Chain A
Amino acid sequence: MTTMSNLPAEVLEEILSRTPVTSLRTMRSTCKKWNNLSKKKIIPEAARKQQGLMLIKKKICSLSFSLHEIHKDDYVVPCINQVDIPRNIEVEKIFHCDGILLCVIEDNCSLLVWNPYLGQTRRIEVSSDADMNDRYALGYDNNNSSHKILRIKKDFKNSDGLGYEIYRFASNSWSLLDEEVMKPEWDVWSVQRSSVSLKGNTYFLLQGNDYDDQEDEEEEDDEEYEDDDDVLPKDNFLLCFDYTTERFGPRLLLPFNPHVEETVALSCIGEERLVMLYQSFKTYKGIEIWVTDKIDPKAVSWSKFLKVDITPLTGFPVDFYADSFVIDEEKKVAAVFDIHCSYQKAHIIGEDGYLKCVNMGRASDVGNGQPLVFSSYVPSLVKVPVKQPKGKRKGRSSETKSNKNKKGRKIKIIGG
């Protein structure tokens, strides 16, 4: 009698990989074999959808956005849902890399590293001078094949007021980075969304803080702008932190030159490319979206994805300020969110200009607050690095949880 349990593993995988993401939980709850198999591959549907993550009232929320059907009348309204984080803790900030989330929790004193797709978590304590202005980023060291966390904090002993620390999963420890090596010239109090981890490294969007220079050049900028080729973006650039060398790279130029008040947003598409939105309102009122052709810590090249006029004549609301966005490359459209509207509406733009406005839904358990940080998230099978045991216990079975050790450092290993 042929039953599912008699099917060879590769055939079973073939079948299970075709279940929709919504049935993932059912599939995993069926039996241990299915649970294990489901973690060997990302369900194609999960990989295909565009996920965005954001924080609303200290809870992680996800927005699954597909612009594929945007032209159709029966387009399904995207809905913001709460993502249930292990043990329902409050999250102050989120960052991510390679499908792993780095959450700052418990009043900024701890970090939770979490791969939702695999259900693995790990907790890391931050050193005692944790502060709500600390910035973090997650990346990967290719030479040592391990993840690292970068922490940027206030440190008035240093000339630029900033200190840098690295947590290396390979050694389970924090260490300070040499100040001389750093000095990326930036303002650490810039907005949360200004960094994206891509291919194991983190790209920071830096907006100039040379306010004195800016005033003098106000006049000149308008003239310079007409001649795009000559314009050197002095105040806005990307800077990449390379976790393998533990250094910041050179300034990476943006394909546009925003004035200080103009809006710029950084995101990523898929796992290999950055995408940026630029809303100009000084010289002309429009939105430009650019995608990288090539990017690495030392160089970048861009190509234009979309450029749209957004005066109120075209259908845009007056006083529209772009905050976050999502693009669909195939359909050549983008959905743009307004900073003032708390994600209640998405404005859809395409090559033909303004297309429509879509009302967003919110699941009932999602708070009413203003979403922070919208960033594109791609699930992965990358395992959360486990704490290397210091002595006795070697392997661990997939379902056991380990105890707190005496110093209060909680070590939770779930999943295998």
Chain B
Amino acid sequence: MSSNKILLTSSDGESFEIDEAVARKFLIIVHMMEDNCAGEAIPLENVTGDILSKIIEYAKMHVNEPSEEDEDEEAKKNLDSWDAKFMEKLDLETIFKIILAANYLNFEGLLGFASQTVADYIKDKTPEEVREIFNIENDFTPEEEEEIRKENAWTFNE
């Protein structure tokens, strides 16, 4: 594994020095590195420092992503547990920002995990509760809402 350091700069001027292996998790950076001269800092215009630091923290834990064939159950469980704690500490606002940033950076692993976390918020909630959590306006008329309910009455119940 290369011990090259990559310098990243957030939109609000914070600098982060990380191992190349970690930086390669962000596919957008992989492309930039190919175009960029070595040694220059890579500017990330769409990510603020606080979010970037969280993302880097996650990336560092996942730099040695266990492959599917890996039999190390213990290691997987530990990683899952770390992941859960990582998300627990964050509020929804921050998670959204992380999702947007992970999308911009093209960091698939975190994008998937954070999306799942948000999706889990929706489980077992009523539409009203969901709208409240996500600050969404109800643009259905009462008739339309009833229609949707009926149309989806088939959803295979557990």
Contact = CB atoms under 8 A, between A and B. Distances in A.
Interface stretch (A28-36, A188-196, A260-268): A28-36
B23 to A, nearest CB: 22
Interface stretch (B12-20, B26-34, B68-76, B91-99): B91-99
A162 B138 CA distance: 54
Contact of A8 (B103, B111, B153): B103
Nearest to A63: B156
Contact of A24 (B116, B126, B136, B155): B155
B90 interface: no
A15 B99 CA distance: 10
A81 interface: yes
Contact of A26 (B103, B111, B122): B122
Given A26-B126, A30-B136, A83 B96 contact: no
Which of the listed residues A24, A29, A31, A414 has the most CB atoms from chain B within 10 Å of its own CB? A29
B122 A19 contact: yes
Nearest to A14: B115
Contacts of A20: 123
Contacts of A84: 150, 153-154
B62 to A, nearest CB: 18
B54 interface: no
A212 B144 CA distance: 61
A4 B134 contact: yes
Interface string B125-151: 111001100111111100011011111
A24 B124 CA distance: 10
Given A22-B157, A399-B147, A414-B151, A31 B140 contact: yes
B99 A7 contact: yes
Contacts of A317: none
A125 B99 CA distance: 50
B151 A415 contact: yes
B40 interface: no
B93 A25 contact: no
B103 to A, nearest CB: 5
Contacts of B144: 399
A51 B70 CA distance: 32
Nearest to B111: A14
10 closest Cβ pairs, A-B complex: A84-B153, A119-B151, A18-B119, A4-B134, A25-B152, A29-B127, A3-B135, A15-B115, A83-B154, A2-B96
Interface of A: 1-5, 7-8, 10-11, 14-16, 18-32, 34-35, 46, 49, 51, 62, 64, 79, 81, 83-86, 116, 119, 363, 399, 414-415
